[in-house]
Each structure stands twice: as C-alpha cells, then as structure tokens.
Chains A and B, each alone.
Chain A
Amino acid sequence: MAGITSYGAYVPLWRLSREAIMKGVRGEKAIRNYDEDSTTMAVAAAIDCLKGQKREAVDAVFFATTTSPYKEKQMSTTIAAACDLRRDITTCDFTSSLRSATSAIKAALDAIKAGSAKEVLVAAADCRIGAPGTEFEQNFGDGAAALLISDKDVVASIDAWHSISNEAHDYWRLDDDTFVRSWEDRFVFNAVYYDIVTQNVTALLKKTNLAPKDFARVIITAPSPRVLSDIPKKLGIDPKAQMQNPLYDIMGNTGAAYGLMLLVAALEEAKAGDKILLNNYGNGSDSLAITVTDKIAKKVEGRRGLKTHLASKKIIDDYRIYLQWRGLLTFEATPTPPGGFISASALYRDRSQIYPLHGRKCKSCNNIHFPPQRVCPTCKAKDQYEDWRLSDRKGTLFTFAADYLCQRREAPRVTAIVDFEGGGRMATIMTDRVLDEIKIGMPLEMSFRKLATQDGFHNYFWKSIPLRG
C-alpha cells in the first residue's frame, strides 16, 4: 500500500503575540521573517523530510501553495534545485486552493500507482495575509510541511480517499489582491463548510466500512476556530480524545500547508496501528483514511517536524515589525543604496552554487572553498575539484559584524564568517538572530532565504542562522 515514507515540517522562528495586534486577544501565531516566503519555507520542510533519505531517489516534486512568489514561473523547480535533487524528475506546482496539498498527494499516489514515479516529494507552504484588523489577521500563521510519498516501507499508509469539488465563493483572492476575501461567515459555515465536510467524511466512512470511533486522530483544517466546537458533534467524534489539536493558539491556520502540518503533528504522537482521518477543506473537500505502520518508531528519527520547530521560537511583541516584514509599512530609502544587480544569465550559470550551495573540494589538498574556484586558493592546483554541498552542514561562527547602514527592516545586517563541519568557510548574512546572543564559536546552520526582490527577480540564496532546536 502506498503512503508516507518520511515527513518533515517547518515553522518560522518568529511568533507574533496576538496581544500586539489587539489588546485582550490571547496566544501567538507563527510569522515568517521578511526574508522568507512560501518557497523558502517549503525548502526547509523538504530538507527536514529528506533527512536520512536518498535525495537521488526522488522522482518528482509537487509544491502546494496559495502564495507562490511568482505568477509565471514554477517554484517546485526552485525547491528541487535547493534540495539538490536529480534534474530528470517531474515538477509541478499545485496552487490557488487551500486544498492544493491534498490534491498534490492524490497526484503523487496516482503516479506511484501508475508506475511513473517511485518516490514523490510533496511540499506545502503558505503565508497568507489577513487585512489589518480582521479575524483573518489573528488566525493566519505561516509554515510548511513536506511528505515523501512512496509504496515501499511506509510509516503511514494512505488507505482510502474521497473528494468533493464545490464551486462557491467562501474564501478567495483576486489575482492582484493582497488580503484574503470572504463572504459573510454565517453563509460560509452553515451553507457551505459544515455541509461539504460532513458529506465528504460520511462518504469516506461508507467507502471504508469504518466508523468515526475507529480513528485515533481526526484532523480538520478549520477555516476559523469558531467552527471547532460544532465540527465534532456533526462528525460524531470525541473532541478531547480524537480531535487533533488545531494549534491555533501557538501557530495559526497555515493555509495550504495547514492540513499537512497537522498531519505531521499527529504522526509525531502516533503509534503503530493508529488510524488517522484527515479532512482538508478548500473549494470542496478531500478526506483521507491513514493507517500508521510499525515503521513509525525508527524510520523518521531526528526530524524537527512540528514539535521541535514549535518549541524553538522568539516572540515579537511589536506589531510594527510584523507590518514591516509584510511590506505593509514602508520606510524611507536606505541611507546606503544597495549595490549590485541581478542577471538571469549569471543566476543560471551559477545555479549549482546558488541553489544547493555547492562549494568545491580540491582533490589535491582536500580543502573546501566557496564560491567554487577554478584555481585552488590553498594549493593553487588548477581544475582539480569535486562538488561539495554545504547547505546541510552545520558550522560555527568565526567572527561577525553588525551593519546599521543597511535597509531598515534588516538593521543591523549581521555578516557572519562560518566555518563548516568537515571544512570550508563562507561569508554569510546571519538571519533569525538576536544581536545580544551572537557569540564567536556559536553553532550555526544554513537556511534558504530570499536576499532581495529587485529588478523583477526574487533573488534566493542561503543565509546562516543560529542552530535551531
């Protein structure tokens, strides 16, 4: 039976205290840093998922999001490149629907069943913006999850499936909208949401000859925490014993990634034999019946998943910082204009150093250098090298500087000289850091980020971050 052979997740380091948005509101939500977007978060989740896996075995990458950074340009290719996957693979973006992640899983299962792929990486990430002052702004969080789908050694099999397509304007964005729109919530909940979810779950139960009580966990991607009290009654499940914690208080609704993130949270707690029901909502509904296998104990060790990422956090209690990171509050131009320009031909030529962060190891003296050099800086040997991936290597901080003349949302920009485990040194920008906590010798890791959006490009590259978890 095909199913999930590995999983990973990513929650940004930063949490916005909801109190900062509005007095009297409780909890916090996960927010991406200004240099993160759905693509960078998907890369982080995918790399978490690929720990201990053979990267060269992946035959397809499906990316699910409603917040793709480009209208015309595929991002699953960027994710595949950043994950250092083969090039003879299938890549596809599943977009425009909160249901896109389960649609991608369905396509992955179908591909495996049809024999066109053996392993498919499904990465889902989202960072939707609710208009300031709305309930959406309170509810929406940012994050990502990734699943490896295959039919060998699954940690959870996907046993049955039922889908409903439903044409309705419940939640939507026009192609130039910044904020999510919706119709009156009484219409959305009572006329659309409850109806579709119950129909869909009922159909799945009928198909599988299962009863609601057979599931150890039921995962619902509730569009609002206000539906959470009614849903268990309508589905006939025990809200305490069976309902998956929706993580509203500490993370928020992460859009297209939400269902997969909650599934990862459920798998982290699951034991062999557990059945999980996942209902994913958006322009209709997908319901999946999942069974956890005995591989769960061993095969997915060392992942950060949801648990470690949620525990590793820094609180932002200044609403203005959040607005600035979202580009909703802008400042005057920087005191020092940024230099440089972006060239498509140079991006293409340098893609192996930019996306998977390949340096070179000199075959003559074994020293590792980044960026790649034709002539070894250490022993001067010419053209004697092999590629050496640095993106998944930990390092330590050799020295640093903190520049206050950079653009204000970044100030101070920390330049960090990183020495990698196994050799190699790189000058990096350090992100997700608190200035007072930076110390020479501190452990660091690399994180795929957006350096800038300029000249019509999103310019991605790796930065260093303090080791998480």
Chain B
Amino acid sequence: MPGIRDRVAVVGMGCTRFGELFHWSDQDLMVESCYAALEDAKMDLKEIKAAWLGIQGAETGYSGCKLARALKTDYIPVTRVENYCATGIEAFRNASYAVAAGIYDIALACGVEKLKDTGAAGVTQMGGEGQFGSWVWAPVIAPARFALAATRYFHTYGLTPQEGKRMLAMIAVKNHHNGSLNPRAHFQREITIDQAVNAPMIAWPLGLFDCCGVSDGSAAAIITTPEIAKRIRDDYLLVKGFGVCADGGTFGVIPSDYDYVHIEAIVRSGKMAYEEAGIKNPRKEIDVAEVHDCFTITEAVICEDLGFTQRGRYKQDIEAGTFNIEGEIAVNSDGGLKCFGHPVGATGLRMVFESWLQLRGQAGARQIKNARIGISQNYGGLPGGGISGMVIVGARD
C-alpha cells in the first residue's frame, strides 16, 4: 500500500484563541476557526465536499450536525469523530484519507471543545472511560491517572520527590515561556521553577503547574490534493505520515508487567508514523514537535517514547535545553497543552496549526529556524491504556 506520504496537502488553517471564552459558544468557536481556515485558503464554504468534526464532549450523541448547523453546510457529509484526547488528530486523519482515496477533492477537519460551561474548575469525568454501570470504578480524575506514572518515574530513575518535581517544573517553565510568545495561548505568563514546585497540589506529585489548561477553543484545517494545492498557494504543507494506536489495557487489566514509565501506544504510533514519513532519526530530523503534555510527566514520557531522548534521560536533556525553541528539537513551541490550553477535540488540530505556522515561517517571536518537518501527537486515556494519534507534516520540497 502506498500510504499517505505526500498524497494530501494542507492549504489553509484557522485557530481561535484558547482560554476561558465565556462569551463564545461552541458554535461561535467553530465559525471562527472554520472561516479563518477558509479565508486562509481563499476558498468558499461550498467548495468543501465533506467535513469531519472532532469533539469529545462530556457525553456522546453530538453527530456531524453540530458542525453542519454552525456553518450551514449544504447537505454534504459531515461526520463527528471521537477518540479521547486524540480526537482532533482523528478528524484530520479521516479528512486526509477521504481525499487520498480520491472520493472528495477538498475536505474540512474541525475540532472544538467547550469545557468552561460546566462550572467546575477542572475537567469533569468524561463519559465512557472505565465506567461500568456498577460503578466499581470510582472515577479517577486525569491528573491522578498520570500521577501514577510520575510516582513510578521518580522511583524507577532514582529521583527523590524533590528532584522529580524539579524536573517536572522545568517542563512547565519551558512551556510557560513558549506560551508567553504566543498571542493565542490561554496562559501567556512566564513562571519560575519555585512557583511550579510550590504550587497547590492537584494529584500528588502533580501540582497546579504540572496540569494543562482547561480551555475552550477550536481549530480547523482544509485538506486537498497536492495538484489543487499548487493552484491555491505555494507554501502548502504535505502530510507525511499518520500513526494511530489503541491500547487494549485499562485500569487493572493492564498486564502486570507494565512499568508505568512508558506508554506502548505512543511508541507504536511513533514507529507507524515515522515509517510512513521515512523518518530514521527523530531527534535530528524533526524540527517542530507538538506532543501531548496534558501533564508535565506526560511530556517527559512521550519524549522518551518517541525517541527524542533515551529512557531515563529526559532530565539531562531538559536541563541541557535540548527541547527549547532554539534547542536541538523544539518541543511544544506554542506553549503546548500546558499553556495554549486543552480544549480536547481541538487540541490535535491546534498542534498541526503550529506546524502550519512554523513550517511557513509565520510563528513570529517563537519562530524555529529552518523548520521543515513537524509532528503533532495526542494521547488520551491513562498510562498503559488509551489512544495515541500522531501526524507528521512537511514543508513542500
């Protein structure tokens, strides 16, 4: 099979500001991101032949109508997709495959989430995950799930809680710095190591600054064939590879030898995407790495899983500045989930939006020099049981 490499192109993207957008509904957010994408591609809505909407939501039953009703699309197929926190990538992947299959010449992928209408400070329990009707699974909030990995990471690599928390704080400080350079980010303030280490506890050992923003937002992309892309603009991007892996494990039924310091679905999705894109040395070849830093520990584990550093070596690399904007491989140059925010369904497309800006030299104060290859990687679920979704895009040769 030929795979996806160089078979579809991105010709326009839109992304709202992320944050506590109490004045905007999900309809406002979708209209903003999709119209921005259409304007970017100098395209009219009626040129879109099919659309995919990524929204996780607190419940199911949304359907494609949510997007159709917002945009008033004209009886085209619109499909709602949902795959935990990898929902945004999933919308992008479905639209890409439809174009690559030759069924539609132009497709829209939109991701949106409206988290700030719940009245809760954190994320309320999302439907589906590990909940039996008998409710023997008392809800375990997302920070606690990933805190299990943090506790075990410290233990495995011989870090005291203080050393471990300091390593995590460096991730938060880096991402807050990057967020301060991004006018769309939810959080645009720098923080210090001490602030992060001493922040209120959310789920030991993760404090407030170890947790990503709970935000509203939307992002959208227009996908077409390279032939059509050439007629629209010179600086389109090409999709190089996808990797999506579902892990069958969940609380309790993860095989007993699971180590809690790596996530197999991420390792496998990385291999899958690298192979399709022809990437042999990720640390050298990738310029823009947007990865799923739902919590600081997740960024550390992902960087090891995706081969940006070796197992247990994340601490040395973050201390050396490897993952800074000017470092060897910039990780979360737009502030990541930590500071850009995490409106679940929109996040994957927001990550692709960073590649869209960086690979076209449009990233302003946070521009990475000579950026040619960007990855976007989402992970949803819990360590050892979830979905990893990844896409690699490249600048046109």
Chain A interface residues (CB < 8 Å from chain B): 335-343, 345-347, 349-350, 353-354, 367-371, 373, 377-378, 398-406, 412-413, 415, 417, 419, 423-427, 429, 435, 440, 451-452, 454, 459, 461
User: How would residues 134 to 171 of chain B score, 1 for a CB under 8 Å from any chain A CB and 0 otherwise?
Assistant: 11111111011111111110010000000000000000
Known: A399-B151, A402-B204. A354 touches B252 (CB 8 A): no
**In the complex the two chains form, is B252's CB within 8 Å of A403's CB?**
no
Interface SS, A side: mixed
> Across the A-B interface, how many residue pairs have beta carbons closer than 8 Å?
153
**Per-residue CB proximity of B59-72 to A under 8 Å, as 1/0?**
00000000000000
A403–B143 CB distance below 8 A: yes
Q: Are B252 and A371 in contact (CB under 8 A)?
A: yes
B134 and A354 within 8 A (CB): yes
Instruction: Enumerate chain A residues within 8 angstroms of B152, measured Cβ to Cβ.
Output: 398-399, 440
Contacts of B138 in A (CB 8 A): 338, 340, 413, 429, 451-452, 461
Closest 5 CB pairs of A and B: A339-B125, A346-B133, A343-B133, A401-B147, A427-B251
One of B14-22, B173-181, B254-262 at the interface: B254-262
Report how far A341 CA is from B155 CA in the complex, Å: 35
| Cα-based distance from A296 to B134 in the complex (angstroms) | 42
B118 / chain A contacts, CB cutoff of 8 Å: 337
Q: Are A350 and B144 interface neighbours, CB within 8 A? A: no
Tell yes or no: B321 within 8 A of A by CB. Answer: no
Min distance, Cβ A353 to any Cβ of chain B, angstroms = 7
Q: Give the CA-CA distance A371 to B336 in the complex, in Å.
A: 35
Q: Please tell me which one of the listed residues B144, B146, B155, B248 contacts residue A413 in the complex, with CB atoms under 8 A apart.
A: B144
A426 to B145, CA, bound (A): 14
A sample of 27 inter-chain contacts (CB < 8 A) reads A335-B120, A336-B125, A337-B118, A337-B120, A337-B125, A341-B135, A343-B134, A343-B135, A345-B133, A346-B135, A349-B134, A350-B134, A367-B256, A378-B255, A398-B152, A398-B260, A399-B152, A401-B144, A402-B203, A403-B203, A404-B204, A405-B121, A413-B144, A425-B254, A425-B256, A427-B140, A440-B152
Considering only residues 189-209 of chain B, those with a C-beta below 8 Å from chain A are 200-204, 206
How far, in angstroms, from A367 to B192 measured CA to CA in the complex? 47
For A403, the chain B residues whose CB sits under 8 A away are: 140-141, 143-144, 147, 202-203
Q: Is the CB of A340 within 8 A of B148?
A: no
Q: By the criterion CB–CB under 8 Å, are B134 and A412 in contact?
A: no
A336–B141 Cα distance when bound, in Å, is 9
Interface residue B316 (Cβ < 8 Å from any Cβ of A): no
A412 to B203, CA, bound (A): 8
- Apart from A370-B252, A403-B140, A459-B135, list 15 A-B contacts with CB within 8 A: A335-B120, A336-B124, A341-B135, A342-B135, A371-B136, A377-B253, A399-B148, A399-B151, A401-B204, A401-B206, A402-B203, A404-B203, A412-B203, A413-B138, A415-B145
